[in-house]
Structure 1
């Protein structure tokens, strides 16, 4: 899945010369948490968050005497440089940027110019789509040898029942690196026949362990 498939294209942006007051109004009006800061050619040069704006605003106890602080320019509080991604980057790789840099928003740029934005909420929804949890399905976890060609062998077993596979995930089996876990989401509410097929072929099904089933 590409970034351009999940990014928001209607991005609210401001310039370094806009005021904290302007940013505060836009954040509240549009219920957003981040505003990219751009120059006159739409090149991203900074970003401000709701926390940046809140920290730079006077508290409720100081508003009468410090309302002038709201007239300060965003250039004084914006974060720079800004981590950005390209519309043709993979969403999965973008997720690692969120994790590694501990950020909650990434502007999307093409030729350095702002074309979109991705938030942590967008990434979470993308994860839901990639794992297939947004459709009615059953999850099966199979422990297999960590060797080339094992995935098509297992999916061939699932094919016997003509079940539709919503998603496939693979992760290491931590107790023994010579094995791995394949997680299937199949579009059926009765996975028992497929599970029995897997067991008949000698595969170890870790989940689900249904009543009456032998491990």
Structure 2
């Protein structure tokens, strides 16, 4: 095995299946479980992923956006080239609206906006970092749902205005409220607080690629604090 291959992480795929939450002739909206890649990873051991599983039943399914390995929640999968093209345009125009739910350490403010540029961190790949000088503009809105004083954590809704890699995880860690279970940016205590990252793509809203009607799909997370 080459040294480059040795450097690639092996990410064991969960046995938990995906579920279909919307289906018609041109698209699916499915839920990806935590601990599953959206697309195959670079390491040969990381071939099992959401799209490979879905394509066993729907061979024409394609990926138009992704969720991190650790993140659960809703994913749109077009079934035709036209649907793929139309939904891709919506993502490029930032008209697709997504809401995430998370549980974070500490008592976060009732609401707010995090506006911190994000750049790759070449010295600590695959991590990213806050860098106002070289980073890309990155904006996240948040709203606290509740604060658990006994456990000192907050349930929060998150709306990413931009779609940078690791944006939600990094933004929340940067303001002192890392997501529980975050092994990248949470530190040892937060990383070990839960067996998975408590981040879930709860709601997605977009225009149907054929009839233009507004579609809104919602799925509550299977974690609670």
Structure number with the higher strand fraction is 2
Q: TM-score, normalised by structure 1?
A: 0.19
Structure number with the higher helix fraction is 1
Name which one, 1 or 2, has greater alpha-carbon Rg: 1
